[in-house]
Structures are given as structure tokens and as C-alpha cells.
């Protein structure tokens, strides 16, 4: 812990806001593998869209908890990242979105 010297006898030593953390090997511990990356909601949407049956906006909203306009914006973001997002209108189901799997 890095502290600065107190200016007088009544002051406490200050703690630095951001202290550098020692690497696990320096602490005497063993090194472990990198932490597993959590799946983001965009990854969840991409997984649903890669299914053969695709996904509707209602299914994507239920899976993410987002509002429909936010979900459609995520689809636009996937398109901008280079994914081929297709949609088709099905009778009784509404619009079904899919991502072409290479």
C-alpha cells in the first residue's frame, strides 16, 4: 500500500486512489489461466439468430430484456460489423430474423 508521509502528528497517512496491484507470481501464488469472458447480450442475440429457425423480435426482447427498438438497433449494429442479417415475413409469426452462417 502506497502512502504519503503525514504533514503533522495529528494527520493520518493518505491512501492513494489507484494503487498498482502486484502480479500473482509476485505474491507467491501460482498463475492461473485468463478469466473466461462472459457472454454479452449481443453474443446472445447472435446465437439466437444463427439457429436454423432464426428468431423474432419478441424472442430477442424476451432473451435480452431490451425494448424492441433497442433490439432492432442491435441488429443494425451486427450488420455494421459485417454479419449478413436477413429477415422474412411469416404468416402468423411476424418477421423472423436470421444470420447467415459461413
Domains, the chain: 41-99 (1.10.10.10)
User: Does the pTM of the predicted model rise above 0.85?
Assistant: no
For residue 17, the model assigns a pLDDT of 74
Instruction: Determine the average pLDDT of the residues in 72-96.
Output: 94
For residue 37, the model assigns a pLDDT of 82
Instruction: Determine the average pLDDT of the residues in 47-63.
Output: 95
Q: What percent of the chain has pLDDT over 70?
A: 75
Of residues 16 and 60, the one with the higher pLDDT is 60
Check if the beta carbon of residue 71 is closer than 8 Å to that of residue 61.
yes
Beta carbons within 8 Å of 1's beta carbon, 6+ residues apart: 15, 16, 19
Amino acid at each position: 500500500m502506497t502512502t504519503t508521509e503525514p504533514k503533522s502528528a495529528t494527520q493520518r497517512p493518505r491512501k492513494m486512489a489507484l494503487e498498482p496491484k502486484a502480479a500473482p507470481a509476485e505474491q507467491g501464488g501460482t498463475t492461473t489461466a485468463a478469466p473466461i469472458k462472459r457472454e454479452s447480450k449481443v453474443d446472445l442475440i447472435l446465437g439466437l439468430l444463427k439457429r436454423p429457425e432464426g428468431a423474432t423480435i419478441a424472442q430477442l426482447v424476451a432473451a435480452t430484456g431490451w425494448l424492441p427498438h433497442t433490439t432492432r438497433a442491435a441488429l443494425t449494429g451486427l450488420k455494421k460489423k459485417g454479419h449478413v442479417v436477413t429477415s422474412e415475413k411469416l404468416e402468423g409469426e411476424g418477421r423472423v430474423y436470421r444470420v447467415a452462417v459461413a
